[in-house]
Amino acid sequence: MKIAPLINQTTKVLPLTLAVAFGLSMGGCASTPVPHERMAVAEAAVARANSTGTSENAASELLVATTKLERARQAVIDKDNALAAQLAEQVALDAQVAELHAQSERSRKAAVESKDAARALSEEINRKPVQ
């Protein structure tokens, strides 16, 4: 937690190379805070995708999101916060993809039905016997 202000100070005072060397030596440390906000966004996105009947039309897409959310939660437990943040960001998009894919599927089915109805009407009218 003291690293960020320290870098700021040193960059002001010391040559850049020193700062970089220092930054690198500390790089990879668990200096990233727990991504609470991103996790919350990811959780909400998955919950939303789950509740809109997505499972019916985009089962595999939804599975990607839920599995990855599980990994993100595990990363938080493992204190791998950088990984958790990345996974959470991906989960939000994965959930959106699932939702949109389901919507697109529903629209596709509706379009097919609508076309079928138009065709059926045409056929029925053409078949109508001349009185």
Partner 1 sequence: MNIRLMSLLTLTAALVACASVPERNLALDQARGNFNQAEHDPQVLGLAPAELKMAKESLMQAQQAWISGSPRPTVDHLAYIASQRVVIARETASSSAYQRISSGAAAKREQVRLAARTEEANKAQQQLALSQQSNASKDEQVSDLEAQLKDLNARRTDRGMVVTLGDILFDSGKSQLLPGAQGNMAKLADVFKRNPQRTASIEGYTDNVGSVSSNMDLSSRRANAVMAALVSQGVAAMRLSAKSFGENNPVASNDTPAGRQMNRRVEIVFGPESVRILAQ
Looking at the Cβ atoms of 43 and 105, the one nearer to partner 1 is 105
CA distance 73 to 40: 11
Q: Which one among 20, 26, 30, 44 touches partner 1, defined by CB under 8 A?
A: 20
Complex with partner 1: residue 40 or 121, whichever CB lies closer: 121
Among 16, 25, 60, 127, binds partner 1 (CB under 8 A): 16
Q: By CB under 8 A, is residue 79 in contact with partner 1?
A: no
Report the alpha-carbon distance of residue 126 to residue 16 in Å, rounded.
83
- Find the part of the chain contacting partner 1 (CB under 8 A) among 16-24, 37-45, 46-54, 73-81: 16-24
- Residue 79, classed as helix, strand or coil, is coil
62 neighbors 92 (Cβ within 8 angstroms): no
The burial class, CB within 10 Å (0-12 / 13-18 / 19+), for 11 is: middle
Contact by Cβ (8 Å): 95, 48: yes
Residue 74 CA to residue 67 CA, distance in Å, equals 11
- What is the nearest approach in angstroms of partner 1 to the Cβ of residue 123? 10
- Note the residues at the interface with partner 1 (CB under 8 A): 11, 16-17, 19-20, 23-24, 86, 89-90, 93-94, 96-97, 100-101, 103-104, 107-108, 110-111, 114-115, 117-118, 121-122, 125, 128, 130
